[in-house]
Amino acid sequence: MRNAARPSMIPVWISAIRPKTLGASLCPVLVGATLARVDGVFKWQPVLVALAGALLLQIASNLANDLFDGLRGTDGSTRVGPQRAVGSGLVTPRAMVSALGLTVVLAALPAAWLAVYASPVFLAIGMLGAMCAVGYTAPPLSLAYRGLGDVFVFLFFGPIAVAGTRAACDGAWTTPALVCGCATGAIGVCLLATNNLRDEAGDRASGKRTIVVRFGARFVRRLISLCVNVAIAVPIIAAIVFGLPKGIMIASIVAALLGGAASRRRSIVGGEAFGLRLALFGLLLYTYGIAFAAGSYLDWGVG
């Protein structure tokens, strides 16, 4: 009998990039760009460069995750979620190292451009971001294996990404941008924590001490609920305290609907149920930023 044909490598590489998670980069850039527009300093070029940098760093993190989890045996045959490129043997570690290296080099270009255009601080952010993106799973940092992955996601896809996008336009790091970044970072944590809940058994067996392994599923479910509430509250607080357009509170409604639906499904078990929760939080990342941006054009005259 002939061996089963190998799958096309294009979908394998697309899966390794994990496009469903890339809303974690788009969402904070949309929020930061919106704040720049409200402040009257918005410029397309630095915002698009910031988006390119954020996407490339996230893709680098996803490729590094695939590579080092595969090498450690974390993504073995007992994995509950989607098949991984290196762990399944469809991509060699050498090929993944090459793809990761190329992505990191490309990610350096937006950081260098923003360092010249806006502020040298972007060079430091780019270097630190690249180090943490690769070190998310790569030794010696291995942030995910120490239960620190959630901290990285919150900071780099939250306050740093939102305030950084805002600062890319005129170099100013503002308090409203840092506060609004807490919302996008919190949603990113929801996605990661739900993923870690799904992978708890495999992570525990392989020594990957995520927050679920370290503190238990009950703690993480409460963390997810807290993060959903943060995403709901931040636009309301920003509108009242900082005088931003009241329409941004549409994002709070989106967070309440999608985040609430994902959080309420905790009684259902199995990979399919976790897939649905991850899909809801992934959708929230995309729609939250869009709702925030669209809502900023509205002002209901409240208060």
At 26-43, the pLDDT tens digits run 999 999 999 999 999 999
pLDDT at 267: 46
In whole angstroms, what is the distance from residue 56 CA to residue 103 CA? 6
Among 146, 145, 142, 124, CA closest to 133: 142
Q: Which long-range contacts (CB under 8 A, 24 or more apart) does 36-41 make?
A: 36/165, 36/166, 36/168, 36/169, 36/170, 37/296, 38/244, 38/245, 38/296, 39/166, 39/174, 41/169, 41/170, 41/172
pLDDT at 79: 54
In whole angstroms, what is the distance from residue 85 CA to residue 97 CA? 12
pLDDT at 198: 86
Q: How many CB atoms lie within 10 A of CB 99?
A: 20
pLDDT at 208: 83
User: Which amino acid, 192?
Assistant: L
User: What CA–CA distances, in Å, run from 98 to 101, 103, 109, 287?
Assistant: 5, 9, 18, 33
pLDDT at 84: 79
pLDDT at 178: 97
Which residues 6+ apart lie within 8 Å of 188 measured at CB?
24, 27, 153, 154, 157, 158, 285
Report how many helices (DSSP H) and strands (DSSP E) the chain contains, helices first: 14, 0
Please identify every stretch of the chain with a pLDDT value under 50, giving residue numbers as ranges. 1-3, 267-268, 301-303
In whole angstroms, what is the distance from residue 91 CA to residue 252 CA? 41
Among 56, 188, 10, CA closest to 64: 56
Q: How many CB atoms lie within 10 A of CB 90?
A: 18
Query: What's the start-to-end Cα distance of the chain, in Å?
Result: 75
